[in-house]
Chains A and B, each alone.
Chain A
Amino acid sequence: MKELEHDSRNNLEGLKGWLNPSRYGWERISYWFQRITGVFLLIYFIGHVYETSTIVNGQNAWESFLELTQTVWGHLFLIMVIGASTFHSANGIRLIFTHVGIGLGTPGRPDYPYNPSSLNYRQKSGIWIALILSAAAMYYGFTVLFGE
């Protein structure tokens, strides 16, 4: 049975399994969002550091670059950044607490139907709060960017 080696990647769920976070509850969705927003924010951050560097080339360079971002799509992108950073930060705080075992309950004597204490509502509500804060921040961003 040589083909059944321990490092066989046969039947791994891989990225395909990763792409569908809907099967296992809120914590899985939180994990998925944290990762997507993290990568998205890093891309934005790199772009932002590049964008602002045009200031060293004088007022004209700065203003012409700024113009590129002052479009409807540019503003929508910024609103996405606002939403992503709010979610990532708020949920990031929740994750730091859960990762050190705070708010997960204590081990006990499990009984049917075996509801796991770590998936409790105290900790789960942090995800919802992060989503709500994120929506509120996006709404605020919208009024500032499109309000004038």
Chain B
Amino acid sequence: MERHRMLKESQIMKIHYITGIAAIFVVAVHILMRLIVPFGSSLEYDYIISNYKNIFYVFILESILVLISIHGFNGIRIILLELRQNNAWENMITIMTISATIALIAYGTRTIILANGL
């Protein structure tokens, strides 16, 4: 029963490590975008909108969204798995983490697409 799984735990953990490392680079770009102009004006509406129209930056934002959602919710899955052990709980965690990951990515992507069209 227990063996019918899409991914082995070792594969999931490889994803966890890789998303963690990749996040460092894309988040660094994201933060640099705030720092190359004075911090206050980096948050001005027009500047942000112009960011959203820069396709390279849009790509960075979407990567951050995907990488950190996967990494962070997998982290939560790990913590919850260790907390309690029975099939109902464990299946619920799997479903919850996958849906939460998808939901957050979808919501953030919506912002990116809409802001790009503004």
Contact = CB atoms under 8 A, between A and B. Distances in A.
Interface stretch (A21-29, A51-59, A126-134): A51-59
Contacts, number: 59
B79 A55 contact: no
B75 A39 contact: yes
B21 interface: yes
A119 interface: no
Interface size on A, as a range, is 20 to 34
A83 interface: no
A55 B45 CA distance: 8
23 contacts: A35-B79, A38-B75, A39-B79, A45-B68, A45-B72, A49-B104, A49-B108, A52-B111, A53-B108, A53-B111, A55-B49, A55-B52, A55-B115, A56-B111, A56-B115, A59-B45, A62-B48, A63-B45, A66-B43, A89-B24, A92-B21, A93-B21, A96-B20
Interface of B: 17, 20-21, 23-24, 27, 39-40, 43, 45, 48-49, 52, 65, 68-69, 72-73, 75-76, 79, 83, 104, 107-108, 110-111, 114-115, 118
